[in-house]
Amino acid sequence: MNILKNKTAWLFLILSLLFGVSYQALDIHIQENGLLVEPFFLIPLAWLCLFISAFFFIKNFYKKKFPKKSTPKT
């Protein structure tokens, strides 16, 4: 179950995928007056969640690869 240690990273990755799929699934249309109606806010949210997820994956990788060396107290 080592894969579940990155819960925050996985959460943001899943959110990013959900925002991306939601953007593609929702209706994008042009109104009669020429106004484009689309859920544009989902695009930056998807990218933001993707970058946050990547940050946590990299942080956890380095934490695992290079653990802190504890010094004994005297």
pLDDT at 26: 93
C-alpha 74/C-alpha 30 separation (Å) is: 72
pTM equals: 0.78
Average pLDDT of the chain to the nearest whole number:
89
For the chain, the structural domain boundaries read: 2-47
Residue 12, classified by CB atoms within 10 Å of its CB into exposed (0-12), middle (13-18) or buried (19+), is: buried
Give the model confidence (pLDDT) of 20-47 as tens digits: 999 999 999 999 999 999 999 999 999 9
pLDDT tier for residue 4 given thresholds of 50, 70 and 90 = low
